[in-house]
Amino acid sequence: MIRANETRTCSFRLRHTVIEGFALQEGMEKKAATEVFSQWALIGKDEGMERGHAASVNAMLELALPKVKSEFSAIDLGCGNGWVTRLLTELGAAHSEGVDGSIEMIKKAKAKDPAHKYSHGSLPEWNPGRRFDLVHTMEFLYYLDNPVEMISVIHDEWLEDEGVLIAGVDHYLEHADSLTWPEHVGVHMTTMSIEEWKNAVESAGFTNVEIHQVAAKEGFPGTLVMLGRASHQ
């Protein structure tokens, strides 16, 4: 087991988990997030991510599910090992699938769960080839160079009319501890304020936009959650 370094020079705190060995050394280029997540999948860190994000995801789904129709369709964007995809089926989804940019995460999802569809794709270029009543994404959007574009793509191409987006991020401007994550983990992260995230969802065309901070605790201001309803009229 990797232990936390008290000096934190070789570690960073990602909410509930301290991860060592991914600090960006001076002069080194940043890695692609998908490469880092594939490394984590190979050494079993996806299980820790599932445990660490469970409280936030449960709170997010409590907000979103009352707003979708019964027997809804759903996709988890940035699905990792597929745990939210499986959870959505348990919670009533008639169809649930997942997509991730990390090939090792998708391999693990398929090995754990042959019953659901899991796709490996580069985002935002990848397209699911259908629309959904619910798009869920947790801890994905800020790894993109342009998360605002991805939010617009979700609205215009992924969601049914009146479909719901529920998106959660732990890296945002008002979460001060998260601002060192890009340096320590060695990957690109787009830093946006709460207001900028809200504006991104609204400018994409979503209506009834809600902003929440869920699963807050001492030292953590909560996962920033954006919820909105697609309008194709």
pLDDT at 11: 30
What is the percent of the chain with per-residue pLDDT over 90, rounded to a whole number? 79
pLDDT at 44: 86
Q: Cα–Cα distances in Å, from 119 out to 99, 110, 124, 129?
A: 5, 9, 13, 11
d(CA 155, CA 166): 11
pLDDT at 233: 83
d(CA 90, CA 196): 33
Q: Where is 55: in which H helix or E strand? A: helix 45-64
pLDDT at 28: 53
* pLDDT tens profile 163-186: 999 999 999 999 999 999 999 999
Residue 142 CB coordination number (10 Å): 21
* pLDDT tens profile 114-169: 999 999 999 999 999 999 999 999 999 999 999 999 999 999 999 999 999 999 99
d(CA 171, CA 173): 7
What is the residue whose two structure tokens read 């000096």?
A: 7
3-class SS of residue 2: coil
Is residue 2's pLDDT more than 50?
no
Q: Cα–Cα distances in Å, from 62 out to 22, 212, 216, 227?
A: 34, 12, 16, 11
* pLDDT tens profile 4-32: 333 333 333 344 333 333 444 444 578 88
CA dihedral 140, 143, 146, 147 (to 10 degrees): 20
d(CA 53, CA 137): 11
- The model carries a pTM of 0.88
Task: Give the residue-averaged pLDDT of 224-228.
Answer: 98
d(CA 4, CA 211): 33
Q: Please, what is the angle between helix 83-90 and helix 45-64, to 10°? A: 40
pLDDT at 229: 98
Which two structure tokens, joined as six digits, stand for 18? 């301290």
CATH number belonging to domain 11-229: 3.40.50.150
Which two structure tokens, joined as six digits, stand for 207? 């209506």
* pLDDT tens profile 31-55: 889 898 899 888 888 888 889 999 9
CB of 111 within 8 A of CB of 50?
no
CB-side neighbour CA atoms (13 Å) of 109:
28
Three-state secondary structure along 174-232? CCHHHHHHHHHHCECCCCCCHHHHHHHHHHCCCEEEEEEEECCECCECCEEEEEEECCC
d(CA 160, CA 179): 35
pLDDT at 88: 98
Q: Cα–Cα distances in Å, from 55 out to 69, 77, 173, 214, 224?
A: 24, 18, 21, 8, 13
